[in-house]
């Protein structure tokens, strides 16, 4: 899976800062907080554990949410964007 | 302890143990010398070679013994690349090969060669068309493909890959470490590698088979042993034990692997029914008979392994927190599946169905407790 440069990232409705947190914590935070945004809006998970880069999109597939894209952060890690589908 | 980690190493087969003890007494002498004890050691070594070759579908003179499956892969990959240097410097592998293949590929790259990695589907299987396209690129010296994936059990389309390689005139190295002795080796390989301790033989014996007509040149300093393919004094007693184990394992495989596969099917079906938020990983049908892998959402792999160990279950995990590298397994990454909370169950021969029952009985509570401790609602 490819990541994209950060400048192309759209503005999310909610940003979850999971930098420095090891999996599964970023996924636990995402699952807890995704229902705080309105339907069809985007949550950004900031994470630098390499496992999160694979696990967030895989979680989206299992939970039928939409993985919009993963964007490189200048300080390392990614902003992984997820659209709430239901 | 219920031992569910046969994919790491199969317990020593009783017949291998017997053969090892006997061969330590009669097979210790240098098989290259001409006096009586050496002739006996040579005879034992050649007999073992013939037996292993027969089970693996090779000719005895194609088979050399290495010190491990990893060394067999290193020599197989680098020796074939070296022998094919004039054909090109391009190596094709799948993204989910064993680390021994990937590390040999790394050496090849540092030596100025190129490596093309073919991605896999969600099941862990390479797409045969993508593999064929990669092999057809000019300058391809070697392609590598495993029979079954070591972490998720998915079988690879070796027959299709072998046909593509034959049409392209490219040798194919098949890494049979996970299936040798359990499932017949698919035809069409040019180089075959395997590891005795994975079929119930002792540690310290790998198999490197190079098909007649395949160009191969040792990447190591010259040595007379093992058809000039593997340096160093042969471990005759261990090779004899490896042959005894392979023969016994292959003889039982028809019935025993069907039984193990049935137990894996039962776990595949039951676990998602009794544990919420689980992803079962790998192909449900096209798989090695003894391997099941799943990931539990919101669970740390290390916590899961520790809890299962306390309850008397030996299992393995591809989660990053259980690895020295702090990266999740490259296999799970390449498949795009959940990498945390990962468990690999791989059943040894003779495992009792009651131990599977006990595993299924404790698993839901183990997962629930870890999720509760992590504050998952």
* pLDDT single digits (tens) B49-67: 999 999 999 999 999 999 9
Terminal-to-terminal C-alpha distance of chain B:
32
CB atoms within 10 A of CB B112: 7
User: Does the residue A53 lie in any domain?
Assistant: yes
Q: How much is the ipTM here?
A: 0.94
User: What is the rounded average pLDDT of the residues B163-169?
Assistant: 98
- For residue A77, the chain B residues in CB contact (below 8 A) are none
For residues A49 and A43, give the distance between their C-alpha atoms in angstroms, rounded to a whole number: 18
The parent domain of residue A25 ranges over 9-83
Residue linked to tokens 């899961």? B304
Name the average pLDDT for chain B. 97
User: Does the residue A4 lie in any domain?
Assistant: no
Q: Where are the beta strands (DSSP E) in chain B?
A: 2-3, 63-66, 90-94, 114-118, 140-146, 172-175, 191-195, 206-210, 278-281, 291-296, 313-314, 342-346
User: What is the rounded average pLDDT of the residues B311-324?
Assistant: 88
Tell me how close the Cα of A84 comes to any Cα of chain B, in angstroms: 18
Q: Look at residue A60 and tell me whether its pLDDT is greater than 90.
A: yes
Token code pair at residue B267: 């776990």
What is the model's pLDDT at position B69?
98
Categorize the per-residue pLDDT at A1 as very low, low, confident or very high, splitting at 50, 70 and 90: low
CB atoms within 10 A of CB B54: 16
User: What is the rounded average pLDDT of the residues B39-49?
Assistant: 98
Across the interface, of A23, A25, A58, the residue whose CB is closest to B320 is A23
A6 and B CB contact within 8 Å: no
Tell me how close the Cα of B302 comes to any Cα of chain A, in angstroms: 11
- What is the pTM assigned to this prediction? 0.96
For residues B135 and B84, give the distance between their C-alpha atoms in angstroms, rounded to a whole number: 14
Q: Look at residue B289 and tell me whether its pLDDT is greater than 70.
A: yes
Percent of chain B with pLDDT over 90: 96
User: Does the residue A13 lie in any domain?
Assistant: yes
Strands B291-296 and B342-346: antiparallel
Nearest to B100 by CA among B67, B81, B73, B80: B73
Every domain of chain B with CATH number 3.90.1150.10 lies at 253-373
What is the model's pLDDT at position B5?
97
For residues B108 and B78, give the distance between their C-alpha atoms in angstroms, rounded to a whole number: 7
A58 and B CB contact within 8 Å: yes
User: Does the residue A72 lie in any domain?
Assistant: yes
In degrees, to the nearest 5, what angle opens at C-alpha B33 toward C-alphas B31 and B35?
105
Q: Is A76 left (phi over 0), alpha (psi -120 to 50) or beta?
A: left
Categorize the per-residue pLDDT at A7 as very low, low, confident or very high, splitting at 50, 70 and 90: low
Task: Select B14-248's CATH number: 3.40.640.10, 3.30.1130.10, 3.40.50.300, 3.20.20.70.
Answer: 3.40.640.10
- For residue A61, the chain B residues in CB contact (below 8 A) are 336
Name the average pLDDT for chain A. 94
User: What is the rounded average pLDDT of the residues B341-361?
Assistant: 98
User: Does the residue A18 lie in any domain?
Assistant: yes
DSSP state for residue B62 in the 8-state scheme? G
Interface contact flag, B340 A32, Cβ < 8 Å: no
User: Does the residue A36 lie in any domain?
Assistant: yes
Every domain of chain B with CATH number 3.40.640.10 lies at 14-248
User: Does the residue A14 lie in any domain?
Assistant: yes
B253-286 pLDDT per residue, tens: 999 999 999 999 999 999 999 999 999 999 999 9
Interface contact flag, B321 A23, Cβ < 8 Å: yes
Across the interface, of B279, B340, B376, the residue whose CB is closest to A51 is B340
For residues B272 and B289, give the distance between their C-alpha atoms in angstroms, rounded to a whole number: 19
CATH number at A35 reads: 3.30.110.40
Domain spanning B253-373 has what CATH number? Answer: 3.90.1150.10
User: What is the rounded average pLDDT of the residues B285-295?
Assistant: 98
B219-243 pLDDT per residue, tens: 999 999 999 999 999 999 999 999 9
Give percent helix, percent strand, percent coil of chain A, each to the nearest 5: 35, 30, 35
Interface contact flag, A58 B376, Cβ < 8 Å: no
Q: Look at residue A9 and tell me whether its pLDDT is greater than 90.
A: no
DSSP state for residue B154 in the 8-state scheme? B
Nearest to B216 by CA among B349, B340, B81: B81
Q: Is B257 left (phi over 0), alpha (psi -120 to 50) or beta?
A: alpha
């Amino acid at each position: 899976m490819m990541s994209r440069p950060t400048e192309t990232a759209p503005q999310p409705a909610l940003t979850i800062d999971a930098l420095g947190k090891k999996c599964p914590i970023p996924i636990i935070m995402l699952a807890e907080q995704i229902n705080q945004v309105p339907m069809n809006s985007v949550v950004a998970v900031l994470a630098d554990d390499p496992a999160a880069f694979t696990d967030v999109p895989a979680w989206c597939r299992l939970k039928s949410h939409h993985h919009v894209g993963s964007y490189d952060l200048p300080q390392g890690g990614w902003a992984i964007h997820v659209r709430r589908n239901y | 302890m219920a031992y569910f980690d046969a994919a790491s190493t199969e317990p020593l087969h009783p017949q291998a143990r017997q053969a090892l003890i006997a061969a330590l007494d009669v097979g210790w002498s240098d098989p290259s010398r001409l006096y009586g004890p050496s002739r006996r050691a040579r005879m034992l070594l050649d007999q073992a070679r013939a037996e292993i070759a027969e089970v693996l579908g090779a000719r005895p003179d194609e088979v050399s013994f290495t010190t491990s499956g990893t060394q067999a892969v290193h020599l197989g990959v680098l020796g074939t690349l070296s022998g094919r240097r004039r054909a090109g410097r391009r190596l094709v592998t799948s993204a989910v090969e064993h680390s021994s293949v990937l590390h040999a590929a790394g050496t090849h790259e540092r030596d100025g060669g190129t490596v093309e990695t073919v991605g896999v589907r969600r099941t862990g299987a390479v797409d045969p068309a993508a593999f064929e396209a990669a092999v057809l690129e000019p300058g391809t010296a070697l392609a590598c493909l495993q029979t079954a994936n070591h972490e998720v059990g998915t079988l690879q389309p070796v027959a299709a890959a072998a046909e593509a390689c034959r049409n392209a005139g490219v040798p194919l190295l098949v890494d049979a470490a996970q299936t040798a002795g359990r499932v017949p080796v698919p035809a069409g390989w040019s180089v075959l590698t395997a590891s005795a301790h994975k079929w119930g033989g002792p540690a310290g014996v790998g198999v490197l088979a190079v098909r007649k007509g395949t160009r191969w040149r040792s990447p190591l300093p010259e040595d007379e042993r093992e058809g000039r393919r593997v340096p160093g004094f042969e471990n005759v007693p261990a090779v004899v034990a490896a042959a005894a184990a392979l023969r016994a394992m292959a003889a039982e495989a028809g019935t025993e692997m069907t039984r193990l596969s049935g137990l894996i099917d039962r776990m595949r079906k039951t676990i998602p029914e009794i544990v919420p938020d689980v992803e079962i990983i790998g192909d449900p049908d096209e798989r090695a008979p003894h391997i099941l892998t799943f990931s539990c959402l919101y669970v740390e792999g290390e916590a899961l392994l520790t809890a299962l160990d306390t309850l008397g279950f030996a299992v393995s995990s591809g989660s990053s927190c259980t690895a020295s590298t702090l990266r999740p397994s490259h296999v799970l990454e390449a498949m795009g599946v959940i990498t945390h909370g990962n468990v690999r169950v791989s059943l040894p021969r003779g495992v009792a169905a009651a131990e599977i029952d006990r595993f299924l009985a404790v698993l839901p509570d183990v997962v629930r407790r870890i999720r509760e401790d992590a504050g998952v609602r």
